[in-house]
């Protein structure tokens, strides 16, 4: 484990900048037993900050693997009502939700893909009400990561267990700015930079973005009233600032679900349900995936696309410059939270309703009319690189450069 001081700074950052825990507020933490030491620090600091109560949902990779090996698809797909009620209780009670993620990228390798798909679908259906709180920013929520041996050695295969974990801690601290003297202040500055990019794009009101790179020639229309977001978010009613993802290097918005045409190729592996999908290509027509192929994990990709009709359409488009510290690390993290912030990316599945003006108050039919996708899934995949060019098409048909060779081609000031 790293020095106690660094763990304390990271825990404080997750609480102050991540969920921005308020005095008297409940906190629910999702964590793993391998992260128990760090989680205990977070709990102590949460109470010191005035948390009303802190509840932990523990997970264990080894037990999760055994359940998939021995239980039937039907049993695995049963989501107990008490679990649904628990999540709803904290969300409806205005709790902050912090997820401390540390999972083996190959956890479910070799497991029947139908089992994994069924479990993911059942869980998404059961948690639909809870997800409406997070995807509409009705509560503060945040995701951070900590190393575990299997994940660290996936990234640093030549290192021994202890050395690999140490290396990953060093990368995480650097990428989330814990190595700075005042990480909270460093994040305030970072959020202000992302806000400049976000505000610029909102003023532009592009009608379409055109992506071109090796293996990618894609046109994505944007719905009228789309909103670019990035950096810190604010809760819907109270206006409390929080960072849902730590790290985050992206600005993102909602694509038009019926306005995507062309082909896009992945640039980094996608860890989906404990299995890797790599070197894959998707072909879109009128917003829908009409063809696909993958060098690795094609069956897993098929299960993802088969989740429901909405999982064959896009729900998010995000821009990340190649200068991001994650990209500059030169590492593949096999972890979407990190890899998506190294690269421009798209997401199959559900869109964030609040990425459209008035979207949070629209029903599914109204959102559909505006081109906002709905699905049980929301899966980001990376398609950006130092070879990606993006053009923006304005209302009058004028085309201008947005990104060149993976870097911003526009000035925000």
Alpha-carbon distance 7 to 2, whole Å? 7
| Mean pLDDT, range 122-135, rounded to an integer | 96
Does the pLDDT of residue 285 top 70, yes or no? yes
CB 86 within 8 Å of CB 126 = no
At 103, the pLDDT band (50, 70, 90 cuts) reads confident
Is 207 found in the same domain as 149? no
Rounded percentage of the chain residues whose pLDDT exceeds 70:
100
pLDDT (0 to 100) of residue 364: 93
Contacts of 62 (CB under 8 A, 6+ apart): none
Query: Is 371 domain-assigned?
Result: yes
pLDDT (0 to 100) of residue 236: 92
Is 303 found in the same domain as 175? no
Is 175 found in the same domain as 208? no
Angle at 364 between CA 358 and CA 365, to 5 degrees: 95
Question: Mean pLDDT across the chain, nearest whole number?
Answer: 96
DSSP annotation string for 247-289? S---EEEPPPTT-EEEEEE-SS-EEETTEEEEEEEEEEETTEE
At 213, the pLDDT band (50, 70, 90 cuts) reads very high
At 2, the pLDDT band (50, 70, 90 cuts) reads confident
Query: Is 267 domain-assigned?
Result: yes
Is 96 found in the same domain as 158? yes
Question: How many structural domains comprise the chain?
Answer: 2
Span 149-172, pLDDT tens digits? 999 999 999 999 999 999 999 999
Residue pointed to by tokens 């989330």: 176
pLDDT (0 to 100) of residue 392: 98
Q: Which helix (H) or strand (E) holds 31?
A: strand 26-32
Structural domain of 334: 203-228+249-408
Is 167 found in the same domain as 265? no
DSSP annotation string for 347-368? EEE---GGGBTTGGG--HHHHH
Pairing of strands 141-145, 96-101: parallel
In what side-by-side order are the strands of the sheet with 251-253?
229-230, 251-253, 314-319, 345-349, 378-382
Query: Is 303 domain-assigned?
Result: yes
Span 367-402, pLDDT tens digits? 999 999 999 999 999 999 999 999 999 999 999 999
Calculate the dihedral angle through the C-alpha atoms of 120, 126, 130, 132, rounding to the nearest 10 degrees: 80
Q: Which pair of tokens denotes residue 109?
A: 């390798």
DSSP annotation string for 46-98? HHHTT-SEEEEEEE-HHHHHHHHHHS-HHHHT---HHHHHHHHHHHHTT-EEE
Is 364 found in the same domain as 216? yes
Is 329 found in the same domain as 255? yes
- Whichever domain contains 64, its CATH number is 3.40.1830.10
Does the pLDDT of residue 267 top 70, yes or no? yes
Span 305-347, pLDDT tens digits? 999 999 999 999 999 999 999 999 999 999 999 999 999 999 9
| Mean pLDDT, range 44-55, rounded to an integer | 98
Query: Is 243 domain-assigned?
Result: no
Does the pLDDT of residue 1 top 80, yes or no? no
Span 66-91, pLDDT tens digits? 999 999 999 999 999 999 999 999 99
Measured between alpha carbons, how far is residue 409 from residues 84, 90, 202, 392 in Å?
Answer: 46, 43, 16, 11
pLDDT (0 to 100) of residue 412: 78
Span 166-176, pLDDT tens digits? 999 999 999 99
Query: Is 131 domain-assigned?
Result: yes
pLDDT (0 to 100) of residue 378: 96
Residue pointed to by tokens 């997750």: 14
pLDDT (0 to 100) of residue 413: 67
Span 171-198, pLDDT tens digits? 999 999 999 999 999 999 999 999 999 9
DSSP 19: S
Give the phi and the psi of residue 113 in degrees, each rounded to 5.
Answer: -60, -30
Query: Is 192 domain-assigned?
Result: no
Q: Which pair of tokens denotes residue 173?
A: 């601290």
In whole angstroms, how large is the CA radius of gyration of the chain?
20
Is 218 found in the same domain as 173? no
Is 219 found in the same domain as 356? yes
Q: Which pair of tokens denotes residue 123?
A: 């869980």
Query: Is 244 domain-assigned?
Result: no
Pairing of strands 314-319, 216-221: unpaired
Rounded percentage of the chain residues whose pLDDT exceeds 90:
96
Query: Is 413 domain-assigned?
Result: no
């Amino acid at each position: 484990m790293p020095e106690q001081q660094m763990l304390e700074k990271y825990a404080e950052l997750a609480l102050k900048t991540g969920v921005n825990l308020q005095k008297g507020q409940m906190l629910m933490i999702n964590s793993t037993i391998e992260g128990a030491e760090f989680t205990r620090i977070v709990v102590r600091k949460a109470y010191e900050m005035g948390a009303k109560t802190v509840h932990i949902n523990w997970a264990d990779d080894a037990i999760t693997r055994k359940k998939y090996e021995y239980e039937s698809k039907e049993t695995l797909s049963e989501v107990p009502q008490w679990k649904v009620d628990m999540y709803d209780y904290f969300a409806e009670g205005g709790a902050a939700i912090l997820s401390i993620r540390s999972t083996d990228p190959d956890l479910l390798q070799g497991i029947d893909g139908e089992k994994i798909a069924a479990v993911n679908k059942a869980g998404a259906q059961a948690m639909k009400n809870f997800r409406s709180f997070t995807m509409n920013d009705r509560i503060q929520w945040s995701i951070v990561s900590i190393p575990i041996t299997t994940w660290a050695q996936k990234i640093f295969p030549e290192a021994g267990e202890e050395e690999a974990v140490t290396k990953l801690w060093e990368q995480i601290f650097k990428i989330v700015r814990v190595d700075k003297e005042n990480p909270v202040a460093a994040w305030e500055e970072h959020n202000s930079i992302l806000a400049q990019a976000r505000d610029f794009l909102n003023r532009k009101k592009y009608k379409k973005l055109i992506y071109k790179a090796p293996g990618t020639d894609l046109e994505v229309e944007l719905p009228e009233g789309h909103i670019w977001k990035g950096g810190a978010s604010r809760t819907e009613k109270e206006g409390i600032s929080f960072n849902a993802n730590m790290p985050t290097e992206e600005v993102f918005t909602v694509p038009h679900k019926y306005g995507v045409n062309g082909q896009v190729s992945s640039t980094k592996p996608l860890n989906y349900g404990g299995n890797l999908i790599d070197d894959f290509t998707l072909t879109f027509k009128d917003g829908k995936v009409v063809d696909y192929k993958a060098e690795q994990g094609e069956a897993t990709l098929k299960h993802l696309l088969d989740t429901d009709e909405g999982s064959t359409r896009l729900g998010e488009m995000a821009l990340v410059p190649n200068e991001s510290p994650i990209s500059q690390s030169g590492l593949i993290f096999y972890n979407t939270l990190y890899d998506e912030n190294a690269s421009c990316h798209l997401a199959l599945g559900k869109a964030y309703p609040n990425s459209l003006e008035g979207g949070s108050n629209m029903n599914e039919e109204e959102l559909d009319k505006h081109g906002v996708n709905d699905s049980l899934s929301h899966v980001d995949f990376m398609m950006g690189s130092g070879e990606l060019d993006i053009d923006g098409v304005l209302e009058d048909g004028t085309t201008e450069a947005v990104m060149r060779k993976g870097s911003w081609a526009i000035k925000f000031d």
